[in-house]
Amino acid sequence: MSSTVAAARALGPRIRAAAERIEHDRRVPAELVAALTATGVFRMCVPRSCGGDELHPAIMIAVLEAIAEADGSAGWSAMIGATSGVAAAYLPADAAREIYGPPDVVTGGVFAPHGRAIIADGAYRVTGRWPFASGCEHCAWLMGGSVVIDGGGPRLLPNGMPDSRLMLFPASEVRIIDTWTVSGLRGTGSHDIAVDDVVVPAAHSLSLITDSPVERGPLYAFPVFGLLALGIAGVALGIARRAVDELVHLATGKTPTGSRRVLAERPVVQAQLAEAEAALRAARAFVLDAVEEAWQAATGEGRLEVRHRALVRLAATHVTITAARTVDLMYHAGGGTAVYATSPLQRQLRDIHVVTQHMMVAPATLEVTGRILFGLDADTSTL
């Protein structure tokens, strides 16, 4: 077992004990962020040249699964901080070390191009507001996707689309706007962030569409969107695993109204548990198989073919869909007990159905993958 996985699992009881506080405060407490930092979770995707661990994606999945099993919001916050570390692989070496060199740095932000970046003397003047900035309150650096403005209008790529780049700014230059009042993943602090005419050096920007990673390890042959989707899959697996365990705990001690036997003695509940266990394990095996196949290709050829990228995304989306179905099944099997705020099952239900809303694991991924499997033309820019 990876030492990072072991450290994440060891932190589980402490995270569980803080679950109500995480939910109430709508953020992961600073002391838990420090504990997560000490496990190396935020260094998993940072290049070794910056002092990172540059880990196999399967390890990242297992680490995030362990954290999310303890608490979904903690798992999601860890996922955002971990996958944001990939940005270091695209930056010039000096800029990468400046931002990602400190061992306790945590980064985050939003890929969507909701900002405007005006070219100005070898830098950009950036203004924008971005929603869904998970973990922004504990980040040292934040990033926001921005359309590049040149000569008064958007700079266009050869395909006619506007050129957009991720801009990284110190958290001290960012306004956090409290917007995160939501149904699930309440503890992720996914507020809006905004900047107003902030100067960003060109070296502190990158494009996920037109730039190639500076680093050449197999991890960076994986597209950033694919790694993000795998991180989401890890969180989904952890939430679903906790729901299964909670149903087992509940069913072995609960005697339903009008019954003389505990819930676990009901054949229908036994079948539901078996179905959930099989589906969850099968989905997990699929994503790990797709990741390992892609890793071998990345190690040998230094790049991933479209088919590998598509299967990684398909597996991540499938895991998330399966996890949601699993949680639904466990919640319904729990009966009236599951609706109380004291039941973790209602929390898992709310959390998993926020996870499913992320565009990296949305149903559209299935359509793109299906076209590729059929050998049809497909837009693969976000795979």
151-183 per-position pLDDT tens digit: 889 999 998 899 999 999 999 999 999 999 999
Distance (Å, whole) CA 198 – CA 174: 9
User: Given this model, what pLDDT does residue 339 score?
Assistant: 95
List, for residues 100-135, the tens digit of each pLDDT value. 999 999 999 999 999 999 999 889 999 999 999 999
DSSP secondary structure letter of residue 348: H
Residue 142 contacts by C-beta under 8 Å, 6 or more apart in sequence? 107, 108, 109, 133, 136, 168, 169, 171, 174, 193
User: Given this model, what pLDDT does residue 256 score?
Assistant: 72
CA-nearest of 95, 134, 105 to 43 is 105
Provide the mean pLDDT of the chain.
Answer: 96
Q: Is the pLDDT of residue 382 over 70?
A: yes
CA-nearest of 146, 161, 158 to 202 is 146
What are the beta bridge partners of residue 109? 143
Place of tokens 């071998």: 296
pLDDT (average), residues 348-358: 98
User: Given this model, what pLDDT does residue 261 score?
Assistant: 84
CA gyration radius, the chain: 21
Residue 76 contacts by C-beta under 8 Å, 6 or more apart in sequence? 68, 134, 185, 188, 235, 355
List, for residues 290-301, the tens digit of each pLDDT value. 999 999 999 998
Q: Is the dihedral of CA 374, 311, 164, 355 positive or negative?
A: positive
User: Given this model, what pLDDT does residue 258 score?
Assistant: 66
Q: Is the pLDDT of residue 221 over 90?
A: yes
CA-nearest of 352, 74, 347, 354 to 240 is 352
Percentage of the chain modeled with pLDDT above 70: 100
Domains by residue range for the chain, with CATH: 3-89 (1.10.540.10), 107-206 (2.40.110.10), 222-374 (1.20.140.10)
Q: Is the pLDDT of residue 316 over 70?
A: yes
8 Å CB contact between 179 and 350: no
Specify the pTM: 0.96
User: Given this model, what pLDDT does residue 379 score?
Assistant: 87
Predicted confidence band of residue 253 (pLDDT cuts 50, 70, 90) = confident
Q: Would you mind telling me the total number of residues written for the chain in this entry? A: 383
Percentage of the chain modeled with pLDDT above 90: 91
Helix axes 224-251, 344-355, angle to 10 degrees: 160
DSSP secondary structure letter of residue 206: E
The amino acid at 159 = N
Distance (Å, whole) CA 7 – CA 100: 21
8 Å CB contact between 279 and 322: yes
Q: Is the pLDDT of residue 347 over 90?
A: yes
List, for residues 65-103, the tens digit of each pLDDT value. 999 999 999 999 999 999 999 999 999 999 999 999 999
Distance (Å, whole) CA 87 – CA 206: 8
8 Å CB contact between 295 and 56: yes
Place of tokens 């099968």: 282
93-97, 136-140, 252-256, 377-381: the lowest-pLDDT one = 252-256
CA-nearest of 132, 125, 8 to 62 is 8
List, for residues 18-71, the tens digit of each pLDDT value. 999 999 999 999 999 999 999 999 999 999 999 999 999 999 999 999 999 999
Give the chain's end-to-end CA distance (angstroms, integer): 30
Q: Which two tokens stand for residue 72?
A: 């979904």
